Amino acid sequence: MDEWLSTVPVAHRGLHSPGVPENSLAAFAAAADAGYAIELDVHLSSDGEIVVFHDDTTTRLTGTHHKVTATSAAVLTALSLDGTSERIPLLREVLDLVAGRVPLLIEVKTGTPSALIGKPLLALLAGYAGTYAVQSFDPRIVLWLRRNAPGVTRGQISGSFAGDGVPFGQRILLRSMVLNAVTRPDFLAFQLDALPSVVVALWRRVLKAPLLVWTVRDPGQLRAAQRFGANPIFESMDPRL
């Protein structure tokens, strides 16, 4: 198991700050320069490119109204992030920028069938010499990785799903992470505010898997992460202070 998952703090969507938007090349450069691992989010564009962006639509960060998976990469990468000169990057641009300096924690967003996004993702990563792991809330993506790329370190993300509009039955299924029995993730990433959790404690023992927690934003939350023996996925603070 990659030791960095337990020891290197992870910058949530890069080391972003006022004027340095989340999931931007500037935020990733800042994190790499500081020696932090980088968490980033990926979608598949309508023309098969992997773009780095968190939301399902471009509204919040660009002021435009595009569904990411229904929009071409050319349109997406031309959009300004939060009124800055930064643009929505392609994953290949991020790989070129980071160039193995720090580990990458790549979250595959839900909404695209596993094989459709999995194949181009693996093609990009096959040529990357740096350290990385792939995670998702969607256990179907984790299962696809187990079956098609067992050598890629894979993680299951979960949490309370409270207020997310997820149907009750699906919420129970995802929160319990019962499909871990089939997907066998190498690590867990869980919502800090939903801890302690009997389910998380059980799966950590069964899988012998490290735990990362999201999102740590203040010293109190950092201390909580440390009490749970978890590596922080952080923003808005320096976890090394």
Q: What averages of pLDDT result for each successive group of 10 residues across the chain (241 residues)?
A: 92 97 98 98 98 98 97 98 98 98 97 94 96 97 98 97 81 92 98 97 97 97 97 92 66
Pick from 204, 118, 213: nearest CA to 159: 213
**Cβ–Cβ under 8 Å, residues 234 and 222:** yes
Assess whether 43 carries a catalytic annotation: no
Tell me, what's the pLDDT at 76?
98
Tell me, what's the pLDDT at 111?
87
Identified catalytic residue from 12, 43, 65, 66: 12
**Cβ–Cβ under 8 Å, residues 174 and 200:** no
Tell me, what's the pLDDT at 169?
84
> DSSP class of residue 53?
-
Identified catalytic residue from 43, 54, 65, 66: 54
User: How far is 140 from 117, CA to CA, in rounded Å?
Assistant: 12
Assess whether 12 carries a catalytic annotation: yes
Tell me, what's the pLDDT at 241?
66
- Sign of the CA dihedral with 139 first, then 141, 144, and 145 last: negative
User: How far is 104 from 38, CA to CA, in rounded Å?
Assistant: 5
User: How far is 88 from 62, CA to CA, in rounded Å?
Assistant: 9
